[in-house]
């Protein structure tokens, strides 16, 4: 709790029974998830042994309806993949109406 600001420490009640939702909020507060902007970074880790020396690797990024998918390909094989929803990235998606 030493990394919390004084006003954040005051928001943590003690000695009271908590609902599961409240316990999660307290954990988020302690871990620094509350009050910080979500990371808008998506990582795709590749090991050298995964990549064919003949073809290298190609990374494909797809913006989908629910979020972002990153895939790495080498010799027509998907060697790594990861994804994040727009919500996890702190991005609000609004529908666009075309006329």
pLDDT tens-digit series, residues 14-28: 445 557 776 776 676
pTM for this prediction: 0.57
Structure tokens at 48: 């050298």
The secondary structure of 17-83 as a DSSP string is ---HHHHHHHHHHHHT-TTSPPP--------GGGSBTTTB-EEEEEE-SSEEEEEEEETTEEEEEEE
Q: Per-residue pLDDT for 1 more than 50?
A: no
Please report the pLDDT score of residue 58 as a whole number.
95
Please report the pLDDT score of residue 92 as a whole number.
87
- Higher pLDDT: 89 or 36? It is 89
């Amino acid at each position: 709790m030493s990394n919390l600001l004084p006003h954040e420490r005051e928001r943590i009640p003690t000695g009271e029974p908590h609902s599961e939702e409240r316990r999660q909020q307290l954990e988020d507060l302690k871990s620094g998830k509350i009050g910080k902007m979500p990371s808008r970074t998506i990582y795709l880790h590749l090991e050298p042994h995964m990549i064919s020396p003949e073809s290298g690797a190609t990374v494909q990024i797809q913006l989908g309806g629910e979020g972002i998918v990153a895939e790495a390909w080498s010799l027509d094989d998907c060697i790594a993949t990861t994804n994040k929803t727009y919500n996890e990235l702190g991005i609000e998606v609004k529908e666009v109406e075309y006329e």
